[in-house]
């Protein structure tokens, strides 16, 4: 998905009369200042496909309902096809004077097909037209996000599959806690992103609902059938209340919340990668084409993309809060405040899609340093819990086992050795019940392998997680081949 479009044309001259689309009531045109301040075509032209698709469906429905003739509907369809072809060939002249994408398309359509073009708007208002276009645009955007989510999950599953036995420290409070597999760590992010994809799919059923037929706010006297339009556009239903239909922006807010969650999950992954790329950790080597250097320090390799993504998460949150703030004071029904819904979404959508795509590329190419991860295990006494659990198996109450283990950790720290570096006699001086099998217990590979509970870090549950994600991806691909 591209960044939000901008008009690079010189502003068109101000019309000498009122707007041909709505100006019958007025004797003067809007001031030039008002035109610049209120125009939306510089960004809502991004919705031209959705606007034209909605108009095609509306014209076909009008013909089926006897409001237009079949010949008129076909003329409109052919004209709309020509308008779309012009836009996609870069031959369409967008005009600020015509305010928005809807008026621009309709004006050019009427130029192409004549008076019948003026019949296209029969039975609809810009209010329900805008809502239809925006709902379709948001839904289409979410489906692009889903594609990118599936692609990133596939990369994480692939990297996890190759690192089931790669051990590393797991952290709580950013302190070494227990040994885990690298695969398990990567799959934690895959689990987050799976929830994101499921959340988007669920939201889409509420977003892709047809508001056409609500007209300005009260419905229309024409015998319209919104369900026909919904069916032609692959929508999941129609509006329940015409006033709500033209003033609802829950669909955009829900999408932006889902996008903000995606960005939050990516930001957490970025934070891990930034730490891991620091030589003090040395767990990963970032690919050159996803890093930058320093203008003064030749040795630097900075994780700038991760830092930018982490920063753009705040930008995504800002877009969500912007629209939430706009909506809180809007009375029924349509108010011009609602024009401020599209720019925040368009910006957030581009950020989400680009971030997912970039992360997939970076995760595919970065190099893991298994040796650095393994050596870090010995520096944090990450097998202390194993020792405590072992003492419990000898019949020692857990609180006592915890105390004995803490004492041995302090002893090892004083001697400058890991727990497994203590002699058996040194351990027995603290807790006589300890036997020589303790060294097998303290082995990090054994510690990970013993974690066999579902969802745990042991090889068996990790392979089960990988298998489950592969099944989910396969099922998603079968159900939604254009998305997954």
Number of other CB atoms surrounding residue 108 within 10 Å: 22
Q: CA-CA distance, 315 to 322, in Å (whole number)?
A: 10
Q: Which residues pair with 169 in a beta bridge?
A: 179
Count of CB atoms situated within 10 Å of the CB of 387: 26
What's the count of helices (H) and strands (E) in the chain, helices before strands?
19, 4
DSSP state, residue 289? G
Query: Residue 358: which of 425, 303, 281 has the closest Cα?
Result: 303
284-285/167-172 β-pairing? unpaired
SS3 11: coil
CB 211 within 8 A of CB 246: yes
Query: Which one is catalytic: 2, 294, 375, 423?
Result: 294
Task: Determine how many CB atoms are found less than 10 A away from the CB of residue 325.
Answer: 10
Using only C-alpha atoms, what is the Rg of the chain?
30
The number of beta carbons lying within 10 Å of the beta carbon of residue 471 is: 10
Residues linked to residue 302 through DSSP beta bridges, in sequence order: 292
CA distances from 141 to 19, 357, 373 (A): 32, 14, 39
Which one of 6, 27, 173, 295 is the catalytic residue? 173
Length of the chain: 484
First CA to last CA distance, the chain = 16
The first and second tokens of residue 457, run together, are: 């870090």
Q: Is 294 a catalytic residue?
A: yes
- The Cα–Cα gap between 460 and 329 comes to 54
Active site residues: 173, 294
């Amino acid at each position: 998905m591209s960044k939000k479009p901008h008009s690079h044309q010189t502003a068109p001259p101000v019309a000498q009369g009122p707007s041909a689309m709505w100006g019958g009531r007025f004797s003067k045109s809007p001031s030039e200042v008002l035109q610049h301040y209120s125009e939306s075509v510089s960004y809502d032209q991004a919705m031209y496909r959705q606007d034209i698709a909605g108009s095609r469906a509306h014209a076909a429905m009008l013909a089926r309902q006897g409001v237009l003739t079949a010949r008129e509907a076909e003329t409109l369809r052919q004209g709309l096809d020509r308008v779309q072809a012009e836009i996609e060939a870069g031959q369409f002249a967008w005009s600020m004077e015509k305010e928005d994408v809807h008026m621009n398309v309709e004006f050019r359509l009427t130029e192409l097909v004549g008076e019948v073009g003026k019949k296209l708007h029969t039975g609809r208002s810009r209010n329900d037209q805008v809502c239809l276009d925006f709902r379709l645009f948001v839904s289409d955007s979410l489906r692009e996000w889903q594609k990118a989510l599936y692609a990133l999950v596939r990369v994480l599953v692939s990297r996890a599959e190759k690192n089931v036995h790669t051990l590393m420290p797991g952290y709580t409070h950013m302190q070494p806690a227990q040994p885990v597999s690298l695969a398990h760590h990567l799959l934690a992010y895959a689990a987050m992103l799976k929830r994101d994809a499921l959340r988007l799919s669920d939201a889409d059923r509420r977003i892709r609902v047809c508001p056409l037929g609500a007209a300005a706010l009260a419905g229309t006297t024409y015998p319209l059938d919104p369900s026909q339009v919904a069916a032609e556009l692959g929508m999941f239903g129609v509006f329940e209340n015409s006033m709500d239909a033209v003033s609802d922006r829950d669909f955009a807010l829900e999408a932006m919340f889902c996008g903000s969650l995606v960005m939050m999950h990516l930001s957490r992954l970025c934070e891990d990668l930034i730490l891991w790329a620091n030589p003090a950790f040395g767990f990963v080597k970032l690919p050159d084409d996803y890093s930058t250097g320093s203008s003064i320090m030749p040795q630097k390799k900075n994780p700038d993309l991760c830092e930018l993504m982490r920063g753009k998460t705040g930008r995504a949150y800002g877009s969500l809060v912007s629209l939430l703030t706009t909506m809180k004071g809007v009375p029924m029904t349509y108010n011009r405040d609602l024009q401020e819904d599209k720019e925040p979404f368009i910006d957030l959508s581009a950020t989400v899609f680009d971030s997912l795509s970039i992360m997939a590329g970076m995760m595919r190419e970065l190099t893991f340093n298994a040796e650095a991860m393994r050596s870090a295990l010995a520096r944090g006494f990450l097998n202390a819990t194993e020792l405590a659990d072992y003492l419990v198996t000898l019949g020692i109450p857990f609180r006592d086992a915890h105390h004995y283990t803490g004492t041995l950790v302090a002893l090892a720290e004083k001697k400058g050795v890991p727990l497994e570096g203590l002699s058996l006699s040194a351990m027995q001086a603290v807790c006589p019940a300890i036997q020589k099998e303790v060294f097998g217990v303290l082995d990090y590979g054994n510690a990970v392998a013993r974690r066999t509970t579902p969802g745990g870090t042991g090889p068996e549950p990790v392979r089960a997680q990988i298998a489950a994600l592969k099944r989910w991806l396969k099922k998603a691909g079968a159900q939604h081949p254009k998305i997954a």
